[in-house]
Each structure stands twice: as structure tokens, then as C-alpha cells.
Chains A and B, each alone.
Chain A
């Protein structure tokens, strides 16, 4: 019940395309849903986060869509750029942050 399931494991997108990463959770006590971005050799860094009282949050090219009834949330990266190539982790928290298994995104020039 504490797991956060993330898909796909890897994703290849052409420059300018839309990258979509999905996550699902079971624990209805989760009330904070961040996405972290990690480059090789670096620690994860917060990209964008949402709380369950809203269905969507947008920051620049990054958007979180949240479906409380389905217990799913997703990250959309619009106009994907080669510099977006990284591993993305969804996470969920009530009192402890639980991470998904990650999606390795490659954006081809």
C-alpha cells in the first residue's frame, strides 16, 4: 500500500515532442505528490509538486495532471528538449516520501 508505481521505465522522445510519465498509488492518505529530476552523478532535485486539492499544476513546460478518484498522476513535458534527458521520479507523501522506480527519458535532437 506504500508503493508508488511508475511507468514507463524508459522513454525516447524527439525534440519538440511531448513526454508523458505516469504514476499510480494506493494509499489514500498521501497528500503531497512531487516529481524529482535526476541527472547522472547528481542527487534528485525537485521539479514540480502538487497537492490533491487541484487537478493540474503547470510550471513552464512541465505540467502535473492529478486524478484523485483513479489515484493516478502524471508528468507532461511539453516541447521536450535534449537538456531534459534525465531520470524522473514521481513520489508521494503523507508523513514519509515514497519514490517511484524512475523513468529514464532520452530526448533526441
Chain B
């Protein structure tokens, strides 16, 4: 069974440019997460989807970040315009829906963004 697939794995852009990351979760997983991982830190939740609904986007900087999961399967995370401080690894994860309690999250390998 395929795991969580993310692309691109690496992206280098100039500041103020836009960038988009794509994620395909494990088949059958209704819950999808985008996490931000800074160097030497733990992952921090940006947004969580239950099917196509964003149920927790409280930590998403909405002035420059946006996300969508239109058909409740794959998802795109966009940054426009990118800033130097956005350099990080963007992790996508998926899980079976377990109501209010999170079970095991399955992570992709991440998309490493470098903003110059």
C-alpha cells in the first residue's frame, strides 16, 4: 500500500515568489494534516481537514498561506508571497477519522522549502 505522497521534495525560490506543495494521502484516510517543521524542532500543525472541510486552521497564517482539499482526497498548500522565514519542511500526514481523538498519523517525506 502506498504511503503519503508529497511533491516536490525540494523547492528553492526567491522571496516574494509563490510556491505550492501537493499531498496525496493514504487511500481511505479521511483526515489530512499539513505540518510545518523548522530545523531542529517538532512539527507544528498548520491545518487539519476532515474530508474536504478545514476543521482546524487556527495556526495557518492566512495572509500568505492557503490550502485546499476540494474533493476530500489530495490537497495543496500554497504560500504567496514567500518570505525568508518560511524556509522549512512542510509535512503532510493522514489518518483514519477518529472523531475528536487523534490516532496514528502517517507522514509523508516532506517538502523542503528554501527561500532566498
Contact = CB atoms under 8 A, between A and B. Distances in A.
A25 interface: no
A43 interface: yes
A44 B105 CA distance: 9
Interface range on chain A: under 10, 10 to 19, 20 to 34, or 35 or more? 20 to 34
B14 interface: no
Contacts, number: 52
Interface of B: 4, 40-45, 48, 56, 91, 93, 100-110
30 contacts: A6-B42, A31-B101, A32-B101, A32-B102, A34-B104, A42-B109, A43-B4, A43-B93, A43-B108, A43-B110, A44-B43, A44-B91, A44-B105, A46-B104, A49-B104, A91-B42, A93-B102, A94-B101, A95-B101, A95-B102, A96-B45, A96-B48, A96-B56, A96-B102, A97-B45, A99-B42, A99-B44, A100-B42, A101-B42, A102-B41
Interface of A: 6, 31-32, 34, 41-46, 49, 89, 91, 93-97, 99-102
